[in-house]
Structure 1
Amino acid sequence: MNRRQFLSIAGAFAGWAGGIGETCAFDRSYSVDTLVLVDLDGGNDGLNTVIPYADPRYRALRPNLALSREQVIPLNERTALHPSLLPLMSAWRANELAIVQGVGYDAPNRSHFRSWQIWDTASHADEYRHDDWLARTSVASFDAAARCLATHRTQGGLNAIHVKLHGFDTHENQAHRHAMLLSRFAEGLASLRATLIASGAWHRTLVMTRSEFGRAARENAAGGTDHGAAAPHFLMGGNVRGGLFGMPPRLDRLDADGGVPVDIDFRRLYATVLGAAGIEPLPLLRA
């Protein structure tokens, strides 16, 4: 992404920031009616979330953490979901769940604080901005998100809700912890979907996950994984074009610190919603 493209999307964020208020509503000019941003805080382990189960390198890198073919939920002949994500399969079968693989940014920063700053401001790794456009839209849970949307939808504009799920910094004893975290995420998201379908609002809703980085491909000696680079992300909604997008993780081409290489710049996810000029959106939304 060049500087002109960056400034375009940064300008779009500035427009969003100017519209944020306590009603959780943004400027009505954007095409998405409801945006739910779900942060998997701590750095979600992408390889045990969207699993390259047919790649022998996966088990070689993770002799203890790798899930077996019998445990996972296959999506195709080489990619599967963690079993804790079973509640999302209804959306997958309805073609309402898009999984974008290899999302991140060039020269990834392994600091939690700095990487979130990059995601929040759509900046480059070597560029510092301070316009955190998400600061006033946070809620504590998926249930709170549903209540906020129900309360403020009639006020018009783009309703934007930010849900932060903590605990994904799994340096040790990851297997059980990660399974519980993914279960909480999937059950909450499935519940939100059911609520919005019942209210007739699901077709106007887009859910997008974020995480400051993925985890290292190789497990560590403490039964966990260290900070990494790229990771898969989920987009879900009634108007989403479901399926797998992006390249599967190249476990034979890890970066110098053992992270999965970036295939898709995270700002393209934002551009899919914002339509920022000069940035190619991903084909994730139906016309």
Structure 2
Amino acid sequence: MDRRKFLKNSSLASSLFFVPSFVKAFEQVASESFGYKRLVIIQLSGGNDGLNTIIPYRNDLYYKERPTLGILKKDVIKINDEVGLHPSLTPLKSLYDQGNLTVINNVGYPNPNRSHFRSTDIWHTATDSNKYSQSGWIGRYLDNYAKQPYSAIEIDESLSLAMKGETMNAIATQDPKAFYNLSKDPYFKGIRSNQNNAHLSEHNLGYLYKTMIAAESSAKYIYQTSKTFTSKKEYPNNKFGNQLKTTASFINSGLDTKVFYGSLSGFDTHVNQLNTQKRLLNIYAKSIEAFVQDLKDNGTFNDTLILTFSEFGRRVKQNANVGTDHGTANNVFIIGNQLQKQGLYNNMSSLSDLDGNGDLKFEIDFRAIYATVLNKWLQVDDKKVLSKSFKQLSFI
């Protein structure tokens, strides 16, 4: 089996590409749990328009800058006398009223980058905007604290940079049964008989062959554990809804996984934003509603925290195509039943005091949110993962 054939036939490789130093550690997989709390991360990919998500409906400047794009006051789901939710987020109003939602406004980072790819990398790696990293913040969490790759799972076919560490990667899978069946494919069984051959050197991916063999036990564990639970909750029939349904089955089955990662794409709304954002926020809200209820029904919501972010917000002023262009600061949603500060965590940014590009000024570094989640929720040393200290917030 040469390199070309291996890569051509191995769709498993993208999910299980661990670096060589991990192989020996994997062969001695530990069964003990390292904590019971779970974190679910959701990315709204493309740059969701935060100003039409959390809406300052009493601010005349909002409607002045968005004469045809602003959400009409009569349609806003009001949460107080000044601020309301996009009408598609009605399910989140229930979470808000129950104390299960915190909205953190004006989240960003110094010297922002408006490229989708670069800003996403910055959020994934938790580095300064002028620095680059090959490892993500969850990947480094795994490096320091996990004993097995399924300690973090991305519900997708490929792995985001956030989930890649220096010595350990998370696992990417959308279907645990298909993942398990793939690991039993005769092609990979054939690798086992060749694993001791001299030609399987690190240069020609010998280490990757070994990793594929070792990862078979991970696929087996995920499948055999998750199949013990079948959700009775009806989810929206779309890709994102299915992601959350799979995540709920993993959580409710007792899978020893600490972090789950999912995403909803399509938020790059330069043109005709109203209908696109309405549809996407509706998918998000209804799927989250089903997910939270599924966890509540099975007694796992108390120990689950959901973090939703987008790589940047949009400009305050609408463009000529009834859309919005790339901006900077945005809002972050925190959903859970252990929130210390519920509702609006902080005030919205001023619409009369924008930066030089017409963007909202950021107030809270997104890494302070990560640091708080690592320290207070996952109960690990945030500085060890993020390489520097950030001010702890008080939402949990």
Does the 8 Å CA contact 2:41/2:262 hold for their aligned counterparts? Answer: yes
Tell me the residue number matched to 2:320: 221
Are 2:103 and 1:99 equivalent residues in the alignment?
yes
Aligned to 1:141, which of 237, 240, 259?
240
**Aligned runs of 1:10-21 on 2, under 5 Å?**
none
Give CA-to-partner distance per residue, 1:134-158, whole Å, 9 cap, x none: 3445555343334344336534352
Amino acid at match of 2:266: G
Which residue number corresponds to residue 193 of structure 2? none
Counterpart Cα distance in 2 of 1:137 and 1:230: 30
> Greater relative contact order: 1 or 2 (C-alpha under 8 angstroms, separation 6 or more)?
1
Matched-pair contact (CA < 8 Å) for 1:43–1:215:
yes
Please point out which of 374, 378, 381 is paired with 1:274: 374
Are residues 1:176 and 2:287 paired?
no
- CA RMSD between the two structures: 2.0
Map 1:119-134 to 2 at 5 A: 119-132=123-136, 133=139, 134=162
Check if 1:63 corresponds to 2:67. yes
Residue number in structure 2 paired with 1:11: none
For residue 141 of structure 1, what is the amino acid of its counterpart? F
Q: 1:248 aligned to 348, 352, 360, which one?
A: 348
Count of paired positions = 259
**Residue 52 (structure 1) aligns with:** 56
Q: Write the distance in 2 (CA, Å) between the matches of 1:137 and 1:72.
A: 40
Letter in 2 for 1:115: S
Task: Give the TM-score, by structure 2 length.
Answer: 0.62
**CA pair 71-147 structure 1, distance change in 2 beyond 3 A:** same
Q: Secondary structure at the match of 2:254?
A: helix
For 2:394, the equivalent position in structure 1 comes to 283
Aligned residue type for 2:393 = L
Match of 1:72 in 2: 76
Q: Which residue of 1 aligns with 2:303?
A: 204
Residue in 1 that maps onto 2:118: 114
Find the aligned partners of 1:38 and 1:105 in 2 and give their Cα distance: 19
Distance 2:131 2:69 in 1: 36
Q: Distance in 1 between matches of 2:92 and 2:287?
A: 10
Give the partner amino acid of 1:62. R
Partner amino acid for 1:154? G
1:173/1:224 contact within 8 Å kept:
yes
Q: Which letter does structure 2 place at the counterpart of 1:176?
A: N
Cα distance between partner residues in 2 of 1:224 and 1:96: 31
**Consecutive unaligned residues in structure 1, runs of 5 or more:** 1-17, 22-26
Q: Which moved more, 1:275-284 or 1:179-188?
A: 275-284
Given that 1:96 and 1:238 are in contact with CA atoms closer than 8 Å, whether structure 2 keeps it comes out as yes
2-side partners of 1:151 and 1:175: how far apart?
Answer: 35
How far residue 202 of structure 1 moved from its aligned partner, in angstroms, is 0.5
Counterpart residue type for residue 77 of structure 2 = I
Deviations 1:126-177 (A, max 9, x none): 111110333445555343334344336534352x111110100000000111
**CA distance, structure 1, for counterparts of residue 54 and residue 171 of structure 2:** 28
Q: Which amino acid aligns with 1:33?
A: K
Partner letter of residue 83 of structure 2? Answer: T
Query: 1:141 aligns to what SS in structure 2?
Result: helix
Tell me the equivalent position of 1:165.
Answer: 264
Distance 1:33 1:52 in 2: 34
Report if aligned partners of 1:145, 1:161 keep a CA contact under 8 Å in 2: no
User: Which residue identity is paired with 1:247?
Assistant: N
Question: Residue 156 of structure 1 aligns to a residue in which SS?
Answer: coil
Secondary structure at the residue paired with 1:85? helix
Partner of 1:3: none
Return the letter of the residue paired with 1:35. L
The residue matched to 2:74 in structure 1 has which SS? coil
Consecutive aligned runs of 4 or more in structure 1 exceeding 6 Å deviation: none
Counterpart of 1:108, as a letter, is P
* Equivalent residue, structure 2, for 1:191: 290
Name the counterpart of 1:9.
none
- The answer to which of 147-156 and 54-63 deviates more is 147-156
SS in structure 2 opposite 1:248?
coil
Report SS of the residue matched to 1:37: strand
Higher strand share: 1
Asked if the contact 1:254–1:261 (Cα under 8 Å) also holds between the matched residues in 2, the reply is: yes
- Counting helix residues as a fraction of each chain, which structure ranks higher? 2
